[in-house]
Amino acid sequence: MNSESDRNSERLSGQHVTKRLLSYLKNHKKGLAAAFVMLFIATAADVLGPIVMKVFIDDYLAPRHFPIGPLVLLAVSFVGLYAISALFHYGQSLLFQKIALRVIQKMRVDVFSKVQHLGLAFFDRTPGGSLVSRITNDTEAIKDLYVSVLSTWVSSGVMMIGIFTGMFFLDVRLAFLCMILMPFILALMWGYRKRSAAVYRVTRVKLSQLNAKLNESLQGMAMIQAMRQEKRLRREFGQINDEHKTAMLKNVRLNSLMLRSAVYSVYLFGLILILSFFGVQSFGGAVQIGVLYAFVNYLDRFFDPINQIMQQLTLFQQATVSAERVFGLLDDERTAPVKKGSATPMIEKGRVEFRNVTFSYDGKTDVLKNISFAAEPGETVALVGHTGSGKSSIINLLMRFYPVRRGGIYIDGEPLDTYADRELRSKVGLVLQDPFLFVGSVADNIRLSHQDMTDEAVRKAAQFVQADHFIEKLPNQYHEQIGERGAAFSSGQRQLLSFARTMAQNPKILVLDEATAHVDTETEEAIQVALEKMRSGRTTIAIAHRLSTIQDADQILVLHRGEIVERGTHQSLLEAKGLYYKMYQLQHGKTVPGRSAAR
């Protein structure tokens, strides 16, 4: 079931992945050039080493001719070549790695920025966990690819070319003979890549299932224990664990069959070629032993890069899949609604108007039908209704979380989508039912990114919503660090902080999305006082569960299944004895049916 919903929510970019990956290198031309130069120098030194040996063996050792001068020169050049190789190899690998890391940083920032500008329609459909994985783990997989491609594959490839060059320099015929090995090597690589792709994918899927199961079980452990489902969960986890093991074993089997052992066979084949060549040659006359030595030496080194490339082929699989996902995310078109037009209207008065707004999240069912209302500057409009009646959708649209396609929303007479983001966000303050707090101090959470806000202003905002009482009781007061999601605070305290955060921005329009749902009655009293203060001079759109909290609203809209079925003041709605009256009765009246039976 997972993979299916995955497919629905995830967009892949299958096109030109490699091309796009390479395009990230454009900004690093100089660095790459320097790295390549170093790589060439180092490889040249590597290739020259056996040739020096060959000269030594054939010109001096075999004829037993040992003049001091040339020998010292040979010795020095031999050691010197290795030193050069070591130095430049270090330089190139470091440089390639640095480039790879910077490329990935750029990619990460790109993806993260992109995600910031995606609309809530995207977030609704994308599980948070997998999104996080996109930004961090997938880019990490791509990083591995870059690092290995740049520092291992490129250098291995250059090394292989270098070795062949050396071989051709020493003996053209034998070098051609050695070329026979290439098809074998390529076939092996191709075969392995093909086979491992499938096996590898299964392993990944199992691993992610394993982790998901573990994560979820840990999160819900209290529930699992309270419901006595430990045994069942153990069994379920055990099953996934077994499947994962089986997949891993398959992987090991494939690697054992097609990696080092297989490469070694090709190596032996090459060795046989060389030995036969010289052997056969020796039947007809003298052979240069030095050349044989150099060839055997080259062959030895030749397979190191191949082993390295083969072992990292799986990285390529993972990285390609990851890159497809990352680019898919970068290409996602579900961006947040943005400002349209070139006008820069400002929100001065705070008049909010909905004109015939109809809205649907999925394009099928309309959750809002023909909604029209206006909140005059300074007025409070309350939205009430049954769960799922569309209250939150109205707020989501007003906050421009979703684009309005049918009908229009106007602030101060201008269409909502003509406002710049900055203007909209600073003038429209939202308080959510679930107060989300960031890691950081209490003050950080009130101040957010507005670094120019003084401590005094922070304190004032806290006082304004009466959060100062509990903050001042904290050991470090405003500098108290908030743990993971403010777990150390009660829900009421968290909500108070989120109030302070909103008020610190001094918005023109206040949007309360069931803001008092999680605040205890006692605190709510204080908050009602604060809200009164907050609302004065501000247009307020409020959703409330408890009708008592909104009865002084200038206008109450009663929603039912996406429609406004009643509107008026508290008093007039009660008099109308409609849905609102019923709701109110249920909450406050004595005529709750069955109440007497409870006694």
Partner 1 sequence: MRIFADLWWFFRQEKWKYLFGIFFLMCSSFLSLMPPYVVGVIVDDIRAQTLTPLLLGKWIVFLILIGIVYYFTGYVWRLLIFGSSIILAQQLRRDLFRHFTKLSPNFYQKKRIGDLMAHATNDINAVQNAAGEGILTLVDSITMGTMVIVTMSVLISWELTLIALIPMPIMTVLTMYYGSLLHKRFGKAQAAFSDLNDKVQENVSGVRVVKAFGEEDAQIGTFRQASKDVVDKNVAVAKIDGLFNPTITLIVACCFFLAIAFGAGRVVDGTLTIGGLTSFTLYLGKLVWPMLAFGWLFNLVERGSASYDRIRNLLAVKPEIVDEEHALRKVPSGDIHYAIHTFSYPGSETVVLQSIDCTVEKGRTLGIVGRTGSGKTTLLRLLLREFDISDGRIEIGGLPIKRTTRDALRSAIGYVPQDHILFSATIAENIAFARPDASRKEIERVARLANIHDDILQFPDGYETVVGERGVTLSGGQKQRVSIARALLADPEILIFDDSLSAVDARTEVAILQALKKERKNKTTLISAHRLSAVEHADLIIVMDEGRIAERGTHRELMKNHGWYAEVYRHQQLESLVLKGGKAVEQ
Q: Which is nearer to partner 1, 179 or 227 (CB)?
A: 227
Q: Closer CB to partner 1, residue 89 or residue 351?
A: 89
Binding mask 314-343 for partner 1 (x = CB under 8 A): ----------------------x-------
What is the nearest approach in angstroms of partner 1 to the Cβ of residue 272?
A: 5
Residues in the chain: 599
Write out the binding residues for partner 1, residues 255-274 only, by CB under 8 A. 255-257, 260-262, 264-265, 268-269, 271-272
Interface segment toward partner 1; rule CB under 8 A; list 28-36, 94-102, 166-174, 408-416: 94-102
Instruction: State the nearest-atom distance from the C-beta of 567 to partner 1, in Å.
Output: 17
Question: What is the footprint of partner 1 within residues 97-116 (CB under 8 A)?
Answer: 97-98, 101-102, 104-105, 108-109, 112-113, 115-116
User: Which residue type occupies 81?
Assistant: L
Tell me how far the alpha carbon of residue 374 is from its chain's centroid. 40
Per-residue x/- marks for partner 1, 191-210, CB under 8 A? -------------------x
Among 283, 413, 452, 536, binds partner 1 (CB under 8 A): 283
CA 148 – CA 31 distance, rounded (Å)? 17
- Cα separation of 246 and 575, whole Å? 70
Q: Is 572 in the site for partner 1 (CB under 8 A)?
A: no
Q: Which stretch binds partner 1 (CB under 8 A): 180-188, 324-332, 371-379, 491-499?
A: 491-499
CA 106 to chain centre: 13
**C-alpha–C-alpha distance, residues 57 and 64, integer Å:** 9
Environment class of 310 (CB within 10 Å of its CB; exposed 0-12, middle 13-18, buried 19+): buried
CB atoms within 10 A of CB 447: 22
CB of residue 258 to partner 1, shortest distance in Å: 10
Strand (E) or helix (H) holding 354: strand 352-359
Is 32 one of the binding residues for partner 1 (CB under 8 A)? no
Q: Does 25 bind partner 1 (CB under 8 A)?
A: no
Sole binder of partner 1 in the list 218, 342, 363, 456 (CB under 8 A): 218
Nearer to partner 1 by Cβ, of 314 and 392: the residue is: 392
Determine if 386 is a binding residue for partner 1 (CB under 8 A). yes
Distance separating alpha carbons of residues 127 and 371, to the nearest angstrom:
30
Q: Tokens 């071989």, residue?
A: 167
Q: Which of 13, 77, 217, 463 binds partner 1 (CB under 8 A)?
A: 217
Residues within window 435-454 making contact with partner 1, judged by CB under 8 A: 436, 438-439, 448-449
Q: What does each C-alpha distance from 505 to 21, 352, 448, 462, 515 come to in angstroms?
A: 41, 19, 10, 12, 17
For residue 15, the minimal CB distance to partner 1 (Å) is 26
Binding mask 451-490 for partner 1 (x = CB under 8 A): ---------------------------------xx----x
18 or 454: CB nearest partner 1? 454
Nearer to partner 1, 15 or 214 (CB): 214
Residue 66 vs 454, nearer CB to partner 1: 66
Q: Confirm if 580 and 566 have CB atoms less than 8 A apart.
A: yes
Residues 43-72 as x/- pattern, contact with partner 1 by CB under 8 A? ------x---x--xx---xx-x-x------
Report how far apart, in Å, the C-alpha atoms of 85 and of each of 40, 43, 44, 248 are: 10, 7, 8, 38
Q: Give the phi and the psi of residue 44 in degrees, each rounded to 5.
A: -60, -45
Q: Which is nearer to partner 1, 73 or 132 (CB)?
A: 132
Residue 420 to residues 117, 129, 338, 424: CA-CA distances in angstroms? Answer: 14, 31, 8, 6
Half-sphere CA count of 256, side-chain side, radius 13 A: 6
DSSP β-ladder status, 509-513 and 539-543? parallel
* Backbone CA torsion sign across 462, 466, 468, 474: negative
Nearer to partner 1, 90 or 176 (CB): 90
422 lies in the site for partner 1, by CB under 8 A = yes
Please report whether residue 275 would count as binding partner 1 according to CB under 8 A.
Answer: yes
Select 154 or 355, whichever has its Cβ closest to partner 1: 154
One-letter amino acid at 198 equals A
* Of positions 340, 521, 532, 537, contacts partner 1 by CB under 8 A: 521
Residues 6+ apart with CB under 8 A from 459: 468, 478
Q: Which one among 12, 202, 300, 376 touches partner 1, defined by CB under 8 A?
A: 300
Instruction: DSSP letter for 346, please.
Output: -
The answer to whether 90 contacts partner 1 (rule: CB under 8 A) is yes
Q: How many CA atoms lie within 13 A of 62 on its CB side?
A: 15
Tokens 């040249």 -> residue: 44
Q: Where are the alpha helices (DSSP H) in 331-454?
A: 391-398, 421-427, 442-447
What minimum distance in Å lies between the beta carbon of 5 and partner 1?
5
C-beta closer to partner 1: residue 18 or 66:
66
Q: Report how far residue 400's alpha carbon sits from residue 338's, in angstroms, rounded to the nearest whole number.
A: 8
Sign of CA dihedral 327, 333, 337, 338: positive
Show the binding pattern over residues 238-257: x = contacts partner 1 (CB under 8 A), - = does not. Answer: x--xx-xx--xx--xx-xxx
Selected range binding partner 1 among 29-37, 226-234, 310-318, 346-354, rule: CB under 8 A: 226-234
